Chain A
């Protein structure tokens, strides 16, 4: 779903094409629907005001990712300052994967389905929400949105090696969180596809 060269960029087209992506990136980064809505509104206003400066769909997509990430990070910072709650700035210690000595069960996952079932989506979204923020940001941008590591590194002010390292830790944590729901023995009541 992307705008074609034949279809001029209009505010309505930008809304239809990009509002869902902006909203879901912000929601997953911030872990909060209302905050994500505020960020989406802010980002859409920015892009609509600059619409005549964009030359094409790929340029606007790259710009939107960057503006959305910046807006979400700024929102999170503002929220942290306001609430003074403890934020896991460095979640390395929390991201230890399950012991390599623990037995591992095969997942009961069927042939590839184009979309996830509603319950599967809920479980995966909940697991994303448990990732410490620096790891969640990289995971959402890399594995959910499919952005290149170099682009993510640039947006988050990290090296590409740091992006890869955080992504790997996040994937292992996600695997551990999802395992109880997808392991083969849960077929009688579990989440097998």
Chain B
């Protein structure tokens, strides 16, 4: 089965999670070998996921920490 660009992009979650069904793997790879747009799209989807994880451990803004500590001063 040949995949269209839209069909391939609908499979990106499974592809990224390593959950792509066996019956789609060959057609997915074949499409990528022939389609530069989808190759770039898959790369950018991966970058998007990677960027999000880098946001996770931001510190508290200083003003926020000061106000929270003041509000919780009887408990800390």
Give A contacts to B, CB under 8 Å: 1, 11-12, 15, 19-21, 23-24, 33, 37, 40-41, 44-45, 48, 97, 100-101, 103-107, 109, 112, 114-116, 120-121, 124-125, 139, 143-146, 164-165, 167-168, 171-172, 174-175, 178-179, 182
**B13: chain A residues within 8 A (beta carbon):** 164-165, 167-168, 171
B5-47: CB near A (< 8 Å → 1, else 0) gives 1100110110000000000000000000000111011011101
Which chain A residue has the least Cβ–Cβ distance from B65?
A: A19
Q: Given the interface contacts A20-B58, A24-B58, A174-B48, does A48 sit within 8 Å of B41 by beta carbon?
A: no
Given contacts A23-B60, A48-B76, A116-B54, 14 further A-B contacts (CB under 8 A): A11-B76, A15-B68, A24-B55, A41-B72, A103-B37, A107-B47, A112-B50, A115-B54, A124-B55, A143-B52, A144-B55, A145-B56, A165-B13, A178-B51
How many angstroms between the C-alpha atoms of A23 and B61 in the bound complex?
10
State in angstroms the CA–CA spacing of A37 and B12 once bound together.
36
Query: Given the complex, which residues of B lie within 8 Å of A164, measured CB to CB?
Result: 13
- Nearest residue, chain B, Cβ from A145: B56
Residue on B with the closest CB to A12?
Answer: B76
In the complex, A145→B65 CA distance in Å?
20
